[in-house]
Amino acid sequence: MAEPKLHTVAPAEAGQPTRIYIFKGYERLWHWIQAILISLMLVTGFEIHGTYKLLGFEPAVRLHTMAAWALIVLWLFTLFWHVTTGEWRQYSPTTSKIGAMMKFYASGIFRGEEHPYEITAAKKHNPLQRMTYLGLLVVVLPLVWISGLLYMFRAYWPALGLENMLSLYWVAVAHTAGAFMILIFLIMHLYLITTGHTVGSQLKAMITGWEEMPGAGERKA
C-alpha cells in the first residue's frame, strides 16, 4: 500500500475527530526499533554498572555492545532519511509559544485547559519538544556515545595519545550520567504520551501514523 502524502487529512465523520497523517512509515519503524534498543541498553548497562544481577556480567556486556552498534547503524540511516526528506526541520528550535507551553504543562493540563499548540504535518513537535530534542542531540547523546566509544576502545588510548589525557573513572561517570539523563527523558516521555485528548491517542499515532485532532469543544488535552 502506498504511503499517504505528508499533508493527508482525513475529514471527520459525525462525532469523530479529524485525523492528520503525521508520522511516516520509516519514522514509526525507527521510533520503535530505537525504543527497543535503548531499553535493552539501559537494562544491560545498569547491570554492567552493578545495580542488579539479571543476565550476568559478560552476557550483559555482549548484549549492550551489540545493541550500541545496532543503534549507531540505525541512527546513520535515520540521519540520511531526515536530511533527504527535509524532516530535520521538525527539530529546529523555536521560542514561539514556549511560555504558553510551559504554563500549560505546569498547571493548565491539570485544569483541563485547551492545548496551546496545534499540531500540523509540517510542525509536529511543539516548542518544548523541539528544545528537549535539541538538548538530547547536542548534549546527552554525544555524551553517551563519546564516553561509550572511549570506554569500548580503552585498549587503544596509548596509541591515540589519550592515556595521560583521560581518566577511565571519569569516562565511566560521564557514561553513567548520560544513561540517567536518557532514563529521565524516557520516564517523562512515557508520561507525556498519555496527555493527548485520550490516554492512548498519541501512542496510537505512533503505531498508525494518524494523529487525531479533536474539535474545538473536545480539545482539552
Average pLDDT, the chain: 86
Q: For residue 51, which of 38, 40, 62, 42 has the smallest C-alpha distance?
A: 42
Give me 29's grid cell: 519503524
Ordered domains of the chain (ranges, CATH): 20-91+100-213 (1.20.950)
Q: How confident is the model at residue 146 (pLDDT cuts 50, 70, 90)?
A: very high
- Distance from C-alpha of 54 to C-alpha of 140, rounded to nearest angstrom: 26
pLDDT one-digit tens code per residue, 37-46: 999 999 999 9
Q: Mean of the pLDDT values across residues 148-163?
A: 91
Q: Mean of the pLDDT values across residues 136-149?
A: 92
- Distance from C-alpha of 65 to C-alpha of 176, rounded to nearest angstrom: 15
